[in-house]
Amino acid sequence: MRAVVQRVSRASVTVDTRTTGAIGRGLMVLFGAGAGDTAADLAYIVDKIVNLRIFPDDAGKMNRSVLDIGGGVLVVSQFTLYGDARQGRRPAFTGALEPAAARALYEQALADLARAGVPHVAAGEFAADMAVELVNDGPVTILLDSRKLF
């Protein structure tokens, strides 16, 4: 499982003209499930997201988590995190989990983030063509992989 986590001052997702999710200060997460991912991969990613200390403390040092600041998390499904462009010019997506299982893990991620104490969990729309808008604060962007490939 992979996630791109961005510290944001605000973020939103729109499908057609409808806003499906929006947050103020918090984390914007691009979420991708890979072939063979399990509940253990999901638990690892959710724990990392909620406990990453990437928000400044009173001294300006990155020492607080999204839970510590009471921030929101906006999660957008993104199978293209498994795009393999090592050969040729068109990426292959064979490493991505099949859609029905990926949807189940995505929906479980939303529930697990809320259960972990995130006060506002917002979402995109699975498998939709989405417009994502965000203001990256810092900028701070962290890459996560449950198999620790990076």
- State the Cα–Cα distance between residues 104 and 135, nearest whole angstrom: 28
**Residue whose structure tokens are 């997460």:** 29
Q: Evaluate whether residue 82 is within a structural domain.
A: yes
Calpha distance 56→14 (Å, rounded)? 29
| Closest by Cα among 69, 95, 77, 78 to 147 | 95
Residue 98 forms part of a structural domain:
yes
Q: Is residue 17 included in any domain, yes or no?
A: yes
Q: Which tens digits make up the pLDDT trace of 32-47?
A: 999 999 999 999 999 9
Q: Is residue 126 part of a domain?
A: yes
CB-hemisphere CA count at 13 Å for 1?
27
Placement of tokens 């995190």 in the chain: 81
Mean pLDDT by 10 residues, the chain (150 residues): 98 97 98 97 98 98 98 98 96 97 98 98 97 98 95
Tens of pLDDT, residues 84-94: 999 999 999 99
Q: What CA–CA distances, in Å, run from 119 to 84, 95, 96, 116?
A: 35, 32, 30, 9
Residues 15 and 4: their CA atoms lie apart, in Å, by 20
pTM given for the model:
0.96
Q: Indicate whether 24 belongs to any domain.
A: yes
CATH number at residue 118: 3.50.80.10
Q: How far is it, in rounded angstroms, from Cα 54 to Cα 100? A: 32
Amino acid identity for residue 61 in this structure: K
CA triple 3-9-13, angle to 5 deg: 60
For residue 150, tell me if it sits in a domain: no
Report if residue 70 sits inside a domain.
Answer: yes
3-state secondary structure of 32: strand
Domain count, the chain: 1
Query: Range of 21's domain?
Result: 2-145
Give catalytic residues, as residue numbers.
78-80
Q: Is there a domain that residue 19 lies in?
A: yes
